[in-house]
Structure 1
Amino acid sequence: MRQQRGRGGGRGEPGLLTRAVDKVFRFVRLAEFEILFVLFFLIVFILFKDLMSRPQYNSIFVKKPDLDDQWP
């Protein structure tokens, strides 16, 4: 059997994947508000773009009223 070296009998340094995942989680915790802020505006932009692409909504911006017609 192999003897384990290091403090407390555990493994020494964590692996590369563990360190990478820890750094990602640390970054997400640090920038949580900014990430949510950007996601909120991205979702709102996509919804607004979808609404404005429909012909019945788009005609409001394109069609000009006649001078004789009563404009509400």
Structure 2
Amino acid sequence: MARRVENRNESTLTRMVDSVFAFVRHAEFEILFFLFFFIAYILFKDITSRPEYNQVFVKKPDGGPELWPF
């Protein structure tokens, strides 16, 4: 892997931006892995917070017996 020759004439801002891009290129898989689980957590939390979802666990189907058949 060829390393870029640093030029001291570059501004500090340019070097900082280049180092951030280098980090993102290096850690791309880990960043996407974290984002996948974070987005899945947010969606799951949103779905399970709805009252329709919570009633699945509370109501007994057809007013059936006290114990579930399974």
Give the Å deviation of 1:13: 2.2
**Partner secondary structure for residue 40 of structure 2:** helix
Match of 1:26 among 13, 22, 25: 22
Q: Tell me what 2:4 maps to.
A: none
TM-score (norm 2): 0.72
Please tell me whether Structure 1 or Structure 2 has the larger radius of gyration of its CA atoms: 1
The unaligned stretches of length 5 or more in structure 1 are 1-10
Is it true that 1:68 corresponds to 2:54 in the alignment? Answer: no
Give the Å deviation of 1:58: 1.2
Q: Tell me what 1:40 maps to.
A: 36
The unaligned stretches of length 5 or more in structure 2 are 1-6
**Identity across matched positions, percent:** 57
Question: How large is the Cα RMSD of the aligned pairs?
Answer: 2.6
Residues 35 and 12 from structure 1, CA distance in 2 versus in 1: closer, same or farther, beyond 3 angstroms?
A: closer
> How many residues get paired?
61
Q: Tell me what 2:51 maps to.
A: 55
Is it true that 1:17 corresponds to 2:13 in the alignment? Answer: yes
